[in-house]
């Protein structure tokens, strides 16, 4: 099918069309958790997570300004990125659905920064909130990573074109060639 072009300078673009375009960029899926000083836990599904800096170790994600959990993330000043495996689509759905207490049905251990650490995740990044940048209808949250972990044996949950998906390696490619590419930066 032909390329759909959205020209913001020419006409009002339907936000759904913009979302459709953005959705072509496949991502992983995370649940980002926090705990306020008063002990209130929050967690939200987010696919806006991205690596930012190796030295110092920084990551970022963005949160909608009207997210009910935003004040807790700001107050806590700490958060943990839990990267989901392909077995955890239900968990993604759970944390993407507004509820008064998303943690009532789980026993969730705390990580070193006090935020909930989801069991059987693919990776985690415990962070201190380093900077918040207001940008349009979202806030960019930049975190300094204080501790991280990953499970090499598990497979990621992906999100692409509004659907959950799983990753498959390209056939007929030598993994050593892929790893040996010139890119030695993030990811
Ligand atoms: C796959 C997926 C990715 C999402 N990514 C984000 C995101 O990056 N930022 C955001 O603000 N909301 C995102 N959402 C929506 C939130 O998860 C949803 O609004 C959630 O209810 C917010 O939590 P809260 O209601 O406890 O504040 C995403 C939802 C899904 C299903």
pLDDT single digits (tens) 162-179? 999 999 989 888 766 776
Q: Is the CB of 51 under 6 A from ligand 1?
A: no
Q: Give, for ligand 1, the residue of 60, 67, 71 to mutate: max count of ligand atoms closer than 8 Å to Cβ.
A: 67
Q: Write phi, then psi, for 76 (nearest 5 degrees).
A: -70, -40
Q: Is the CB of 72 under 6 A from ligand 1?
A: no
Atom of ligand 1 nearest to the CA of 97: 21
- pLDDT at residue 54, rounded to an integer: 97
User: Residue 123's closest CA among 187, 53, 52?
Assistant: 187
Task: Give CA torsion, residues 133, 139, 143, 149, to 10 deg.
Answer: -160
pLDDT over threshold 90, residue 43: yes
- pLDDT at residue 185, rounded to an integer: 77
Interior/surface letters 144-157, b for 16+ CB within 10 angstroms, e for the rest: bbeeeeeeeebebb
Ligand 1 centroid distance, CA of 106 (Å):
19
**Which residue has the CA at smallest separation from atom 26 of ligand 1?**
69
pLDDT over threshold 70, residue 182: no
Q: Is the CB of 62 under 6 A from ligand 1?
A: yes
- pLDDT at residue 172, rounded to an integer: 80
The pTM (predicted TM-score) of the whole model is: 0.95
Percent of the chain at pLDDT > 70 equals 95
- The chain-wide mean pLDDT, for the chain, equals 94
Taking residues 142-158, report their average pLDDT. Answer: 98
**Which CATH architecture group holds 27-166+174-179?**
Roll (2.30)
Return d(Cα 95, Cα 152) in angstroms, integer: 24
- pLDDT at residue 181, rounded to an integer: 62
């Amino acid at each position: 099918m032909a390329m759909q072009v959205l020209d913001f300078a020419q006409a009002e673009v339907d936000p759904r069309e913009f979302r459709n375009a953005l959705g072509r960029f496949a991502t992983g899926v995370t649940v980002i958790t926090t705990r306020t000083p008063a002990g209130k836990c929050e967690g939200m599904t987010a696919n806006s997570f991205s690596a930012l800096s190796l030295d110092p170790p920084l990551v970022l994600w963005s949160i909608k300004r009207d997210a009910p959990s935003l004040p807790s993330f700001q107050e806590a000043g700490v958060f943990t990125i839990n990267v989901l495996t392909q077995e955890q689509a239900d968990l993604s759905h759970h944390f993407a659905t507004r509820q008064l207490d998303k943690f009532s049905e789980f026993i969730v251990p705390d990580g070193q920064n006090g935020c909930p650490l989801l069991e059987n995740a693919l990776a985690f990044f415990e962070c201190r909130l380093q900077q918040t940048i207001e940008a349009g209808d979202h806030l960019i949250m930049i975190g300094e990573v204080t501790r991280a972990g990953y499970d090499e044996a598990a497979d990621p949950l992906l999100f692409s074109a509004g659907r959950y998906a799983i990753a498959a390696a390209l056939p007929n490619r030598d993994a050593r060639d892929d790893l040996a590419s010139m890119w030695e930066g993030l990811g």
